[in-house]
Amino acid sequence: MRSVTIHPDLSRVLPAELLEEIADCGFYPHLVSQALAGAVGRRGIRSYVVHHEATFSGHEVHRHITVLVLLEDALIICHADEGEHGRAIVTTELVRLTSIDSVMLTQSVADPAAKSPGLAEAWLTVIWGATRRLEVAPASCDDPTCDADHGYTGIAAADDYVLRMSRDADGSANTGKLVEFGTLLQGAVA
């Protein structure tokens, strides 16, 4: 069986501004753009948001990039991580808007009493129930002297996607863009 690789013309599929934002992150921009363009295909893009993040683990730095793209009928989540042995891991997920159960947009504002309060942080949470998370712990009773086996208790929850941005880490413009994107997504799902 022959392997077939699709390499779409990026400038025909993705807007120049989106390609520029991905390139500005400096985290494997061609790889991320290729994966994203493959997921977008011939569909038109309504809106997008790009988030680049570095996390620290001891003496190591791990970079991540997430690109959310809103299409007419779907949400694309493209996420790239640094893998082991110099590898990169890129995942694209396409979620039909009709599959999304809930879109939550949380905003933290500085000086809320002001006429124009400043946006300090924003979280976008999307739940579509593709996977479920089960958190299990040993059950117990209120009797501190009881040593009986009470089995287990747990919570089953839909695995959701959360993207957080802050003015201090990501800049006011990017944090505002997350709010705009979340508002559009809420309108598209409603």
User: Can you give the pTM of this predicted structure?
Assistant: 0.80
pLDDT band at 4 (very low <50, low <70, confident <90, very high): very low
Strands (E), the chain: 45-57, 60-71, 74-82, 88-96, 102-110, 118-138, 152-166
Q: Which range, of 4-8, 9-13, 32-36, 48-52, averages the lowest pLDDT?
A: 4-8
Per-residue pLDDT tens for 74-125? 999 999 998 888 889 999 999 999 999 999 999 999 888 887 778 999 999 9
Query: How far is Cα 11 from Cα 72, in angstroms, rounded to an integer?
Result: 20
pLDDT band at 135 (very low <50, low <70, confident <90, very high): confident
Domain topology for 1-98: Pantoate--beta-alanine Ligase; Chain: A,domain 2 (3.30.1300)
Q: 163 with 123: CB under 8 angstroms?
A: yes
Encoding tokens for residue 149? 């086996």
Average pLDDT (51-77) is 88
Average pLDDT (40-49) is 94
Residues whose CB is less than 8 angstroms from the CB of residue 86 and which lie 6 or more positions away in sequence, other chains included: none
Q: Where are the domains of the chain?
A: 1-98, 100-190
**Nearest Cα to Cα of residue 76 among 18, 11, 123:** 18
